[in-house]
Amino acid sequence: MTTIAPETPTPPSPLVGEAPPSPAGPVDAAALAGLAEPPSLPLPPLVQSLRFSQRQIEFVFGARRRYGEVFRMRGIVSGGPIMTSHPDHVRSLFTAKPEQAPSLTKESPLRPIVGPNSVLTAVGPRHLRQRKLLLPPFHGEAIEAYTRMITAAAEREIDRWPIGEAFSLAPRMQAITLDVIMAGIFGIEGRPAPGTPEARLRAAVKGFVASSMRPGAKVSELIHLGREEPIGLLRLALGTLDRPTYEVIRARRRAELGERHDILSLLLQARTEEGEALDDKELRDELLTLVLAGHETTANSLAWAWERLLRFPDAHEALLDAVRSEDGAEERVEATIVETMRSRPVIPLIGRRVTVPWQLGEFGVAADTPIGISILLLHHREDLYPDPFSFRPERWLGGRKPGTYEWIPFGGGIRRCLGAALAMAEQRVVLTAMARRLDLEAADPAPERALHRNVTMIPAHGARVVLRSRRA
């Protein structure tokens, strides 16, 4: 008879704790009547929208201090949202029936950019169909293949960086992650050949992302709150993206797909339950979502990692020592990534619109109410993460894994980011390569503030660094 030894439990950590339980989930009308309404922020909706979009960190932390972990905002989306940051509330929304708590991405500021047809903005059966189709290219053997491309792209990019000059890491990280995601989508090894539709699309994406950093971009974001279609300058800017995107689609339709397994070829061959193929507009929405969301979030997470590391010398030295000595390197790299995504989540807010009455602790909300999950507030709870504003990768050493509803930079439930495995693989490879080869310093010792751009939170100056030396 074989005896199976019990698993050794992960020892308790003084840097990872638990939140007190808080009841949450769907309730009937009678139960709702016995619950209090969440407190509302007294500012006018326009003022709330402006402060939230300009200084989200200060705004939501200030609101939590004054009103507690559940409060109502006005002006971001129709009807609210109600904001929460308790893991039990998160669990109730992530595990709910899809029809009871559909995603708010249908009302996202990204909708005028990527359209209504992508896996990001679709809800219901269409979302599930698109998700099922796109899961295989982002998991298992596909990630192993991507890893080789990531390594080559990282080494190629690192060799280009100037020594002794200040520069921003974010665009350098984007150069790596854009090459990787385009390789996965279009099946191209390395950068697209000059003169090809894919090369023109790559250039357009870089230009579009760069333009979103200009001062006028914030005005455009505010103008498009609640809109489904782009207007004004955004519509013109999207034209520069749409032309090469449709050019790529037309060229691939004419090609022999054969045994190709890249994402565009899979989408072209996909059929609905009624046997219908995706039209060009549906393909456009999906491709732009994958290209834009699939490279920029990961690049900015890497930029945040170095922004944090260079301001916490103990964490920086521990990473360099582990990687260069090859003693505990994998664990230290993983811990650094997890702590970065806890302390500086690139997507700081996600949401659901409940279609039935819902309990959030002592409060109740009516049907058709949007509920925002502040990832920022959740990740900085003192009970979950003692010393939450410090950068402490050692929280995650010794086999400790982040909780499903306590650490949610990729969202969760049926809306969890499709590219999470690829994003983690990219960060592991690039962070390791940089720690092994580069001696970096912060260009300015002061921490970089967070800049809120559309739905993302990025380093305001792109994580400015100075490269002091580069190893072979």
Residue-wise pLDDT for 199-240, tens only, equals 998 898 888 888 877 766 666 666 666 677 777 778 888 888
Say what angle helices 232-254 and 280-309 make with each other, to 10 degrees: 110
For CA atoms 348, 78, 412, 141, the dihedral sign is negative
Indicate whether 11 pLDDT > 50. Answer: yes
pLDDT at residue 9 is higher than 60 = no
| CA diameter of the chain | 74
Question: CA-based angle 406:411:414, to the nearest 5?
Answer: 115
Q: How confident is the model at residue 119 (pLDDT cuts 50, 70, 90)?
A: confident
Residue 91: the pLDDT is 98
Q: Taking the CA of residue 314 as centre, how many other CA atoms within 13 Å lie in the half-sphere pointing to its CB?
A: 5
Distance CA 222, CA 218 (A): 6
Residues 6+ apart with CB under 8 A from 148: none
Predicted TM-score (pTM) of this structure: 0.91
Q: Is the pLDDT of residue 6 over 60?
A: no
- The helix (H) or strand (E) run that includes residue 416 is none
What are the tens digits of pLDDT across the range 325-359? 999 999 999 999 999 999 999 999 999 999 999 99
What lies within 8 Å, CB to CB, of 130 at 6+ separation is 118, 119, 122, 286
Instruction: Choose among 325, 472, 361, 392: nearest CA to 19.
Output: 361
pLDDT at 249 over 60: yes
Evaluate if residue 63 carries a pLDDT over 90. yes
Distance between CA atoms of 333 and 291, rounded to whole angstroms? 26
User: What is the average per-residue pLDDT within 308-328?
Assistant: 98
pLDDT band at 1 (very low <50, low <70, confident <90, very high): very low
C-alpha closest to that of 442 among 164, 163, 162, 166: 166
pLDDT band at 268 (very low <50, low <70, confident <90, very high): confident
Could you tell me whether strands 450-453 and 369-374 are parallel, antiparallel, or unpaired per DSSP bridges? unpaired
pLDDT tens readout for residues 357-402: 999 999 999 999 999 999 999 999 999 999 999 999 999 999 999 9
Q: Among 67-81, 360-374, 452-466, name the one with the lowest average pLDDT.
A: 67-81
pLDDT exceeds 50 at position 316: yes
Torsion, CA 333, CA 337, CA 343, CA 344, rounded to 10: 130
What are the residues facing 450 on neighbouring strands?
459
How many CB atoms lie under 10 A from the CB of residue 80? Answer: 22
Fill in the amino acid letter for 309.
L
Decide: 128 and 135 in contact? Cβ < 8 Å: no
Q: For residue 422, is pLDDT > 80?
A: yes
* Mutual angle of helices 420-437 and 169-186, in 10-degree steps: 130
Q: Calculate mean pLDDT across residues 12-19.
A: 87
